C-alpha cells in the first residue's frame, strides 16, 4: 500500500470519526431527576430546554441551596466535544486533501 493511499485512508477515517464525535448526543445524569438522563442536544446544536426546566424546578423546590447549573454543564460538555471533534475532523480533511493534491501535482510534474 502506497503512502498516498495510507494517508487518504487515515484522513478519511479521521474526518468521519471527528464528525461522528460532533454528532453524538449529549446527555447528563442529575441526581435530582432520579438518574434519568437529561438531553442536551449535540455539539453542533446544543438544546438546553430540558436542562433549563430542571434548573428552574430545582430553584423553585430548593431556594437558596447551592446547585451546579445543569444548563452550564450542557454547554461545558458540548464545548468539550467540540474541542475533541473539530481538530480530528479538520485534521483528517487536511490529510485527505493533501493525499489527493500530492497525486495530482506529482502527475502534472512527471508528464
Which residue range is the domain that position 41 belongs to? 3-110
Q: What percent of the chain has pLDDT over 70?
A: 87
Per-residue model confidence (pLDDT) at position 62: 86
pTM of the model: 0.78
Q: Are 16 and 92 in contact (CB under 8 A)?
A: yes
Rounded Cα distance between 91 and 111, Å, is 30
Q: Are 35 and 29 in contact (CB under 8 A)?
A: yes
- Greater pLDDT, 1 or 86: 86
pLDDT at position 104 over 70: no
Neighbours of 48 (CB within 10 A): 21
- Greater pLDDT, 94 or 35: 94
- Mean pLDDT across the chain: 87
The total domain count for the chain is 1
Per-residue model confidence (pLDDT) at position 66: 86
pLDDT-derived band at 22, boundaries 50, 70, 90? very high
Amino acid at each position: 500500500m502506497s503512502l498516498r493511499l495510507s494517508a487518504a485512508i487515515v484522513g478519511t477515517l479521521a474526518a468521519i470519526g471527528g464528525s461522528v464525535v460532533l454528532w453524538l448526543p449529549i446527555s447528563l445524569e442529575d441526581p435530582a431527576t432520579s438518574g434519568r438522563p437529561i438531553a442536551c442536544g449535540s455539539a453542533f446544536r446544543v438544546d438546553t430546554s430540558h436542562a433549563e426546566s430542571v434548573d428552574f424546578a430545582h430553584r423553585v423546590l430548593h431556594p437558596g441551596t447551592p446547585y451546579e447549573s445543569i444548563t452550564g454543564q450542557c454547554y461545558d460538555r458540548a464545548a468539550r466535544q467540540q474541542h475533541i471533534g473539530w481538530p480530528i475532523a479538520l485534521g483528517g480533511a487536511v490529510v485527505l486533501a493533501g493525499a489527493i493534491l500530492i497525486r495530482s501535482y506529482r502527475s502534472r510534474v512527471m508528464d
